[in-house]
Amino acid sequence: MHHNLLPGRCRNQCHGSHGVHGSIVWILALAMLMEVTMAQKPTATATMRVVKQSDLEIILTKTISAPRDRVFRALTEPAAVMQWMKVGHLQLVDCEIEPRVGGSLRYQYQRPSGKQIEVRGVFEKVDAPRELRYLESYDFSPLTIVVTTTLEDAGRSTELKQTLRYRTKDERDADFPNIESSSPTAYANLDRYLALGASTE
């Protein structure tokens, strides 16, 4: 997730407030052990649409009120991610992103109890500022998800589409309530972060 691509490892050791992403959304929701009733239909919440597609996928779509280049940077620059990725009571305490094919990403979260959990990923495709694809995994679960994020230029705004592809239909169905409940908040934070940045430019 990134725009101003830097050679080698892109690391940020910031310690501060946090919270997801796009597909990171999944991990936050699961980590908090949210208990939500399984939805029976696609839903749209806070302008984000969350839809089951085929037997293996969940599709998230949202219009972001910022140009595509800025959205891409906000998704891929660790310092930016540390600012907007806030969900629930989890704190993002470390963030590493190496946005190139074969590069890695790592998000380390801390619960109020002090226990830490980690989200990891390996980039399979980076086409700045249009598309990112990575395989996401977790240190507390055997689940793996292929996360594909595409950004369509819409002038002063950007059409974000994120596809989460699971190994089985059961995994997808079990995770759907978590995605449906946590994604709108996460990406609303991204929208606010970008709007604030635009007001200071």
CB under 8 Å to 81, separation ≥6 — which residues?
1, 12, 21, 74, 75, 92, 95, 97, 107
Q: What are phi and psi of 38, to 5 degrees?
A: -65, 125
Residue 30: which pLDDT band, with cuts at 50, 70 and 90? very low
Task: Identify the CA nearest to 80 among candidates 198, 163, 197.
Answer: 197
Token representation of residue 109: 């979260």
Query: Which tokens belong to 49?
Result: 């649409």
pLDDT at 89: 82
Higher pLDDT residue, 87 or 195?
A: 195
Topology (CATH level 3) of domain 11-200: Alpha-D-Glucose-1,6-Bisphosphate; Chain A, domain 4 (3.30.530)
Residue 38 has pLDDT above 50, yes or no: no
Q: What per-residue confidence (pLDDT) applies to 31?
A: 44
Q: Which pTM was predicted?
A: 0.76
Q: Over the stretch 168-191, which tens digit does the pLDDT of each residue have? A: 999 999 999 989 988 898 899 999
Q: What is the mean pLDDT of the chain?
A: 81
24 pLDDT band, cuts 50/70/90, is low
Tallying the residues shown for the chain, one arrives at: 201
Question: Going edge to edge, which strands form the sheet with 48-53?
Answer: 11-12, 91-97, 104-110, 116-127, 131-138, 141-154, 157-165, 57-64, 48-53, 43-45
pLDDT band of residue 96 (cuts 50, 70, 90) is very high
Predicted confidence (pLDDT) per residue in 97-130, tens digit: 999 999 999 999 999 999 999 999 999 999 999 9
Question: Across residues 133-141, what is the average pLDDT?
Answer: 95
The domain spans of the chain are 11-200
